[in-house]
Amino acid sequence: MTAPILYCGDTNLDGAASYLAGLMTHFGWQFDYVPSHVPVSAELIERPHSLLILSDYPSTQFDPDLHEIVSQQVEQGMGLLMIGGWESFHGLGGDWDGTVLGNLLPVEIGRVDDRINFDQPALMYPTGWNRELFDLPWYTRPPTIGGLNRIHPKSDAETWLDVTSFRPHFDPVSQTLQWPETGATFPALVTRQRSLARTAAFASDVAPHWVGGFVDWGPGRVKAQAAGAPAIEVGSNYAQFWRRLLAWTGRLE
């Protein structure tokens, strides 16, 4: 039997955490949950887990003495995933830069506020063929997001997804808006595998508001509910994305 997932952050199960918790319940995966305002305990960290997810979970809630334990667990095969947000990476109160856990990630984390908000369309798409994600309709209906943390892939990491912002150009002659004019491009999903260790960094969010239209990506609808959380309804491709990313990072069945 696969060990449970340890999921820390996204406020609480009454709020943003209901999205990922609902999907993990829908997928049949067991998980332990720690709200953003609660420090993770040594007892919980020392239990076997297949994957540690940190999402909008401040580094101050993670005792430095526990970092080395997690580092050893990752070396032995536990996956590590950080999902973006105001309290992820550096963010506004995340402050994971310079920490042991932050250094385990496949990205360099800056030492200043790394939050980027998109007030115009920002499309997410693959940087190349990837067997974990290739058959989702990235090229025919790329999803949009509303924001992310600026991350920098390490030299031995792989960037699986990028985000490019677009803006209209106003033609004064025809008095019309013309699309698109390309803006900046940012890494959205970066992964790394070294021996047994699999780590991933998703720069945007799993829940509103930064998740944007991505939460509704897909022609079908998936309804789910975790114990102690409100019900959610999301797009079918969005649900499949998280299933595949968590399954790869945590070697989940």
- Residue 83 is part of a domain; what is its CATH number? 3.40.50.880
146: number of Cβ within 10 Å = 20
Cα 93 to chain centroid distance, Å, stands at: 17
Element (H, E) at 224: strand 221-224
Minimum mean pLDDT range among 56-65, 162-171, 183-192: 162-171
pLDDT mean across residues, the chain = 95
- The yes-or-no verdict on residue 181 having pLDDT over 80 is no
Q: Which two tokens stand for residue 58?
A: 């401040």
Q: pLDDT band at residue 253, thresholds of 50, 70 and 90?
A: confident
Angle (CA) 129-77-150 rounded to 5° is 50
Q: Which two tokens stand for residue 18?
A: 């209901």
Q: pLDDT band at residue 79, thresholds of 50, 70 and 90?
A: very high
Dihedral in degrees, nearest 10, Cα atoms 9, 14, 20, 21: 100
Q: Which one-letter amino acid corresponds to residue 98?
A: G
Percentage of residues in the chain having pLDDT higher than 70: 100
Q: pLDDT band at residue 10, thresholds of 50, 70 and 90?
A: very high
Q: Do 124 and 214 contact (CB within 8 A), yes or no? A: yes
* 201 three-state secondary structure: strand
Residue pLDDT, tens place only, 113-144 = 999 999 988 999 999 888 888 789 999 999 99
Question: Distances from the Cα of 212 to the Cαs of 4, 58, 169, 216, in angstroms?
Answer: 29, 22, 23, 8
Minimum mean pLDDT range among 58-67, 135-144, 162-171, 196-205: 162-171
- The yes-or-no verdict on residue 1 having pLDDT over 70 is no
Tally of helices (H runs) and strands (E runs) in the chain: 5, 14
Partners of 123 in beta bridges = 144, 164
- Please compute the mean of the pLDDT values over residues 171-177 and round it to a whole number: 84
Looking at the chain, list the stretches that DSSP marks H as alpha helix, in order from N- to C-terminal side.
17-27, 42-46, 64-75, 100-104, 236-250
Residue pLDDT, tens place only, 90-116 = 999 999 999 999 999 999 999 999 999
231: number of Cβ within 10 Å = 10
Question: Distances from the Cα of 134 to the Cαs of 16, 123, 126, in angstroms?
Answer: 28, 16, 8
CA dist 143 and 153 (Å) reads: 22
For residue 31, give its domain range: 5-250
CA dist 37 and 14 (Å) reads: 13
Q: Which one-letter amino acid corresponds to residue 156?
A: D
Partners of 116 in beta bridges = 148
Q: pLDDT band at residue 237, thresholds of 50, 70 and 90?
A: very high
The predicted structure's pLDDT at residue 175: 85
Residue pLDDT, tens place only, 200-234 = 999 999 999 999 999 999 999 999 999 999 999 99
The number of domains in the chain is 1
pTM above 0.85, yes or no: yes
Q: In what order do the strands lie in the sheet with 197-202?
A: 31-34, 5-9, 51-55, 79-83, 197-202, 176-194, 158-171, 122-126
